Structure 1
Amino acid sequence: MFRTLFARIAVAGALFAAGAAQAASCPVHYLDGRPPEIRNAKLATATRELCYGVFGVMHSGVTRTPLWSAEYLRADNLERAEGLDRDNAFHAESRLPPSQRAELSDYSRSGFDRGHLAPNGDMPDRRTQRESFSLANMVPQNGEHNRHIWAPIEGAVRKMAKKEGELYVITGPAFLGTSLRKVGNVLVPSHLYKVVYSPRQKAAAAWFIENRGDAPIHVIPVAELERIVGIELLPSLSRQDKERMLRLPKIKQRRNNRS
């Protein structure tokens, strides 16, 4: 299914060139100002970078989801975020053409959550909070996974950022296998990942988890994740750097989850 979907867009080369030209438009969100680099040509079709106040996404017009979100996560912004209540202002992204974007109707009665990549809990003010509720920052996510696996991971990253002072975080979906499904026009990811890089420790690691409620939590080197997803997520680091494992907080899983 995934192969067929990407084959439908005949202008892949031109669109990829346009996407690449925009790649450095919001460098503050990326380690050393360098955004991830797409190595799997199928993923490069109809991509568009969108910059927001404290995060950026690379959006795919084929999956109608982000391919990643990127955050330069600072302790001072997280302190400001703690006083905000959740807005829940989900909305379609007006900067994307209707033929390539998700709509609220795609998720309606789908059985999937609208899962944030850049979390609402990281947003330091009302403007950035509203930006985080753009559907360009969402993927269809199993509800149990979202609440009982992903939310604890997001909380652990915030706690870690407060301790470290700053982190670079890249969050994204993976579309693996031949039995992918869609909700409306939006492709459902098979897995989700979150990469964390600590400038203080000069090390990184990633969580990589299947998109189901009872999925085991895997912590893997960034180099391995890059091979799996076909994206060079931290291109300014050497392969040796990407093999060096940052110690990530242990996530306590709820037993006997049901997806």
Structure 2
Amino acid sequence: MKLFLPLLSSFLLTTALYSAPTQCEGLYYTNEAPDILNPKLQIKTKELCYSGFAIMHSGLSRTPLWAAEHLTKEGLRHKSKRTNDFHPEEQLSTDERAELADYARSGYDRGHLAPAADMGNKQAQHECFTLANMVPQNSENNRGIWSAIEGATRHLTKQKGSLYVITGVIFNGSQVKRIGGRVLVPTKLYKAIYDPARQAGAAYIVTNAPSNDYEVLSIAELEKQSGVRLFPKMSQSAKEDAMDLPDPQGYHGNSYNNTTNKDIMYLIEKLLKRMF
């Protein structure tokens, strides 16, 4: 019995660590959310479901850990006017959510994880501007290589017909920056892509810095770096083999949510800050 109790405790701990129930129907592959493997990331997490995407939010970082989307060729045919109505998330307590004041004069963009250009109707547009979908992102990175990666992912969706996408962040090191004294700044951002027809996947990853550099990783390698098991039903052999992803260079301006519009908004914001 003394031997059995530690084994039982170990089993229960493992089960809690690897279970990932979701209330967000149709947004994850086989309706199974990623598993958080790093216990430090599990604290104060809350799943948020929206019409076009799902969020796993962290009350410690006051950012999403990831956003999940099921992109389809048909869905991307629908366009909706970009709203830019950034707002705090009322589903979160005030001590665990980001506020607009946290980003003001921070020097960082409010970087979407689930992009506005993926949203096909007015409701989804409004929802994607919640600060629960935002991370502090270097402006050059956001408007440059990251915008291109978003465009390349939409291009790939139109080629393949259906993709499951998980866009997330990584916080590396003991000296992670904060804005507003509250919101953690991710050191890296990634976009993991799974093609259910081919049962294959891969991921783009970038450093949150003024650079156009990016890498393509296998899902297995990204899981090691992120501390998150991204596609629970994906075979380990498929995770080890990175499928080909399009070179994002050349996919700027893939839709209305392009670099030019982002630059215009950035200049307007800078002007308003100087005026007030």
TM-score normalized with structure 2 length: 0.82
Cα deviation code 1:23-72 (max 9, x no counterpart):
31013111111100001000000000000001100000000000000000
Asked whether the 8 Å contact 1:204–1:222 carries over to 2, the reply is yes
Asked whether the 8 Å contact 1:114–1:141 carries over to 2, the reply is yes
AA of the residue aligned to 2:177: R
Which residue number corresponds to residue 118 of structure 2? Answer: 122
AA of the residue aligned to 2:44: A
Unaligned runs of 5+ in 1: 1-16, 254-259
Asked whether the 8 Å contact 1:207–1:217 carries over to 2, the reply is yes
Asked whether the 8 Å contact 1:22–1:49 carries over to 2, the reply is no
Asked whether the 8 Å contact 1:19–1:49 carries over to 2, the reply is no
Which residue number corresponds to residue 7 of structure 1? Answer: none
Q: How many residues align?
A: 235
Cα deviation code 1:234-254 (max 9, x no counterpart):
11112111112221001228x
Which residue number corresponds to residue 245 of structure 2? Answer: 248
AA of the residue aligned to 2:175: S
Which residue number corresponds to residue 29 of structure 1? Answer: 27
AA of the residue aligned to 1:102: A
* Residue in structure 2 matching 1:49, options 25, 44, 47: 47
Unaligned runs of 5+ in 2: 1-14, 251-276
Which residue number corresponds to residue 38 of structure 1? Answer: 36
Which residue number corresponds to residue 153 of structure 2? Answer: 157
Counterparts in 2 of 1:205 and 1:61: CA distance versus 1, 3 Å:
same
Q: What's the CA shift for 1:74?
A: 1.1
The answer to whether residue 232 in structure 2 is matched with residue 235 in structure 1 is yes
The answer to whether residue 103 in structure 2 is matched with residue 107 in structure 1 is yes
Q: What's the CA shift for 1:86?
A: 1.3
**Which deviates more from structure 2 when the two are superposed, residues 208-217 or residues 98-107?**
208-217
AA of the residue aligned to 1:191: K
Which residue number corresponds to residue 85 of structure 2? Answer: 89
Q: What's the CA shift for 1:80?
A: 0.4
Asked whether the 8 Å contact 1:59–1:67 carries over to 2, the reply is yes
Question: Rg: which structure is higher?
Answer: 2
Q: What's the CA shift for 1:150?
A: 0.5
* Residue in structure 2 matching 1:58, options 56, 59, 64: 56
CA RMSD in angstroms, aligned pairs only: 1.8
* Residue in structure 1 matching 2:136, options 135, 140, 154: 140
Partner of 2:124: helix, strand, or coil?
Answer: helix
